[in-house]
Amino acid sequence: MKKLIIAIIVLSYCACGEPVNPDVFGTWSVENRYYKADYQIREVGGKVVGEIIKYNDGTTRYKWEDDNPKYVFQNLKSKDGLLVDAISGASTKAENKNLELRMLHQDTIDATIFINNHPTSESWIRIK
């Protein structure tokens, strides 16, 4: 019985992870030579999501619609000082990473996006 209780406590602790820094919540803007976008990071149904508010890469244009939301990530978790997309974290292999966010300042996020296991970094600036 004691082993079962200890196992439940350990599993509960491991499953919860670190809490997400509340400074990450808000509206963020990114602009680089490939695209321009605005994202809103907020909590929905107990998960931290990144909703795409506006996106334009010269070919694809998107503006938020209540009936057809699009997401840059849907389950952000805090891990080792980084915020990672937990959906891509289903495997422990490094090639399955797709997004890491690091708070540089309360108004700046360093976002690293992995495409074919090649990291690309960009700065997201708080607008709200």
Residue with tokens 């990114």: 30
Domain that holds residue 77: 20-126
Q: What is the pLDDT of residues 92-113, one digit of tens each?
A: 444 456 788 999 989 999 999 8
Rounded Cα–Cα distance for residues 105 and 15 (Å): 28
For residue 23, what pLDDT band results from cuts at 50, 70 and 90? confident
Are 72 and 39 contacting, i.e. CB atoms less than 8 angstroms apart?
yes
Rounded Cα–Cα distance for residues 74 and 49 (Å): 4
Domain contains 8: no
Amino acid 122: pLDDT: 92
**At 106, which CATH number?**
2.40.128
C-alpha separations of 118 from 33, 101, 123 in Å: 18, 15, 17
Q: What is the pLDDT of residues 69-97, one digit of tens each?
A: 888 888 888 887 788 876 543 444 444 56
Domain contains 5: no
Is the pLDDT at 123 greater than 90? The verdict is yes
Two tokens at 100? 């890491």
Domain contains 90: yes
**Close Cβ partners of 66 (under 8 Å, ≥ 6 residues apart):** none
Domain contains 96: yes
Rounded Cα–Cα distance for residues 77 and 88 (Å): 11
Taking the alpha carbons at both ends of the chain, their separation in whole angstroms is: 51
Summary mean pLDDT of the chain: 78
* Structural domains counted in the chain: 1
Rounded Cα–Cα distance for residues 125 and 2 (Å): 50
Domain contains 13: no
Domain contains 14: no
Give residue 3's identity as a one-letter amino acid code: K
The angle formed by the CA atoms of residues 25, 30 and 35, to the nearest 5 degrees, is: 140
Domain contains 50: yes
Is the pLDDT at 126 greater than 90? The verdict is yes
pTM of the complete model: 0.73
Is the pLDDT at 5 greater than 70? The verdict is no
Two tokens at 48? 């931290």
Domain contains 10: no
